[in-house]
Structure 1
Amino acid sequence: MRTHRLGHSTTTVTELGFGGGPLGGLFDPLDDDTAAQTLEAAWDSGIRYFDTSPHYGIGHSERRIGELLRGRPRADFTLSTKVGRLLIPQDPRGRMDESFAVPATHRRVWDFSRDGVLRSVEDSLTRMGLDRIDVLYLHDAEQHFEAALREGYPALAELRAQGVVTAVGAGMYHPGKLARLVRETDADVVMLSGRYTLLDHTALDELLPACAARGVSVVAASVFNSGLLATDRPAEGARYDYGPATPELLERVNRIADVCAEHGVSVPQAAMAFPLLHPVVAGVVVGMRSQEEVLRNREAFSAPIPAGLWSDLCEAGLLDERAVVHAGP
């Protein structure tokens, strides 16, 4: 699988990365054996970039990814995790976590201070059983942006200067705030959630031009917009950005599917390929929760996409006219 370097760093990622959210029990519970089989399948498929976070299943995702990667040569993979939420142990008293289908053994405390960042990194390394992280992101800082920018980012830059990590940035869904971070810091990479996809092109307004100007890479996450683009024809109850999709969105996906079908392409194939056409996008990260999902996504990712698909989507008014629709050299 092809790899790309992140910004001005020495860190590389495979074009298809493994998103660790589902390993934390996103939407539905996931047992350890299924998680292990999923990760083994991802490794066997050639994926070498693994992304996780303390937030995902209050530590479950980090622990499970660490269990796989501890048995692999350290130079053979790239690992990213995130900071901004500290996990504080608590008695679950039979309660489930508010965000993931796991017992509420910890509570999250927002903390983008220097001490919070350093503690979060130490806790993550302990959970994963690894000696270093490659990429460190400020996570979900939309409502805490000034603290993340003024306190959190300098801590990340300090860890990079010390060689503790090799690339730093932020992972958010708000392209405007990510653009500000790109302009005001020396970040290497941003992870953009759901804002440069077949359905949402808002990253074209500020973020992607800012990244191009500053030499910052983008990792595109949530390229299926929480599942709406994960199948050819969305089923009733399909999610868009973690909530139910509107009738207008369902109709738009069906129009995209019609154009794709004319070129012998599935919607998931197009959804994974589209962001990578832009020169600042180094990779896409896809959340996977089973061996079958890994194999299906890997096959779809490898499918050739006729260039005419993109021009036809543009002509149908389904892609922003500013979108890059021609692959680079």
Structure 2
Amino acid sequence: MDIRTIGKTPLAVTQFGFGGAAIGGLYRECTQEAAMETLQTAWDAGMRYFDTAPFYGFGLSERRTGDFLRSKPRETYVLSTKVGRLLRPVPENQVPDYSYVNPLPFTVDYDYSYDGIMRAFEFSYARLGLNKIDILYVHDIGVYTHGVEKNTVYQRQLLDSGMRALDELKTSGAISAYGLGVNEVEVCLDVIARSPIDCILLAGRYSLLDRAAERGLLEVCRERKISLVIGGVFNSGILATGPVPGANFDYGPASDDILGRVRSMQKIAEANSIPLAAAAMQFPLREPVVANVLIGTAKPSSLTRNMELLKVDVPDSVYAAVEPFTIR
């Protein structure tokens, strides 16, 4: 598997990595055995970049990721997790519903301040059971998650003191890189204008269907040598399932407009005898600032099937033909 560097750092990642939300029970239960089997399948496929977060199963994904990686030589993989949320224990009947099935008994509090980020970092060490975290992402800062009013407060926390914490951690060698882990372009541009970052984990905004990152972000990343890690390459599923009834886009049911766009894309793919999902998986890596594409699943069979899509030759003409149906 090809290797790409993260920003201006010496840190290098495999071009495909494992996203840990599903092994935290996102949308459906994932047993410990299934999580370990899926992680082993990712490792056997050549993935050496693993991303997790406290939010994924309220600590469950971090624990499982750490359990798996603990037996691997530390220099052979890259690990990222996230800050911005602190976990707080609550009775089982007070565990909030964020679409995680059987999460650990915690709720989440947002804190993007210096102290909040330092505490989150230390807590992640304990859950992972590992002594080195390579990349820290500031998780879900932005209007998309918080709305305008609350995000004004949280973004001030981050810019006034939170970024200083990240810089100190990198300067000390505790981490090798830091950036944002978000679902929107606007907050990336806001933070880049005020603070240096190494990378952005951008979910769903640079895909075969959704090209929002082309609204200025790609250009800025090229200029400042900021790497993109791309999540949500199937846009919550529709680029994998096609425009079937009940198909999801952006964490909810796809609109008629989205179904129509994907239907047109699928016809083009079928005319060229290729799966639409293959074009979706391979698309982001056509852009040099993209260092990695994350694949998230809790099923070994799904992961294996997705990796088989990398063997499909997708002609440039297909990408040109689907372009009129994209969202920008």
Instruction: Give 1:164's match in structure 2, choosing from 149, 174, 185.
Output: 174
Sort the Cα spacing of 1:68 and 1:104 in 2 relative to 1 into closer, same or farther, 3 A: closer
Aligned to 1:228: 238
Aligned to 2:87: 87
CA displacement, residues 52-93 of structure 1 (integer Å, 9 cap, x when unaligned): 000000001101111110011111111000000000112213
CA contact (8 A) 1:89 1:105 kept: yes
Q: Within 2, Cα distance between the matches of 1:270 and 1:103?
A: 33
Q: CA deviation at 1:308?
A: 1.8
Aligned to 1:50: 50
TM-score, structure 2 length as denominator?
0.93
Instruction: Give 2:304's match in structure 1, choosing from 277, 282, 295.
Output: 295
Q: Within 1, Cα distance between the matches of 2:123 and 2:48?
A: 23
Q: CA deviation at 1:112?
A: 1.0
Aligned to 2:284: 275
Displaced runs of 4 or more, over 6 A = none
Q: CA deviation at 1:263?
A: 2.0
Aligned to 1:15: 15
Deviates more, 1:129-138 or 1:150-159: 150-159
CA contact (8 A) 1:140 1:172 kept: yes
Q: Within 2, Cα distance between the matches of 1:82 and 1:302?
A: 32
TM-score, structure 1 length as denominator?
0.93
Sort the Cα spacing of 1:62 and 1:95 in 2 relative to 1 into closer, same or farther, 3 A: closer
Q: Within 1, Cα distance between the matches of 2:113 and 2:105?
A: 24
Q: Within 1, Cα distance between the matches of 2:313 and 2:192?
A: 33
Gaps of 5+ in 2: 143-150
Aligned to 1:41: 41
Aligned to 1:318: 325
CA displacement, residues 168-211 of structure 1 (integer Å, 9 cap, x when unaligned): 00111110110222232221101111111122111111211111
Q: Within 1, Cα distance between the matches of 2:320 and 2:114?
A: 47
Instruction: Give 1:151's match in structure 2, choosing from 154, 161, 165.
Output: 161
Give the % identical residues: 40
Aligned length: 318
CA contact (8 A) 1:97 1:104 kept: no
Q: Within 2, Cα distance between the matches of 1:228 and 1:279?
A: 25
Q: Within 2, Cα distance between the matches of 1:147 and 1:207?
A: 23
Structure with greater helix share of residues:
2
Q: CA deviation at 1:319?
A: 4.4
Q: CA deviation at 1:104?
A: 5.7
Aligned to 1:135: 135
Q: Within 2, Cα distance between the matches of 1:95 and 1:147?
A: 26
Q: CA deviation at 1:304?
A: 2.1
Deviates more, 1:297-306 or 1:92-101: 92-101
Q: CA deviation at 1:8?
A: 0.5
Q: What amino acid is aligned across from residue 296 of structure 1 in structure 2?
A: R
Gaps of 5+ in 1: 323-329
Instruction: Give 2:216's match in structure 1, choosing from 206, 211, 217.
Output: 206
Q: Within 2, Cα distance between the matches of 1:224 and 1:30?
A: 20
CA contact (8 A) 1:217 1:281 kept: yes
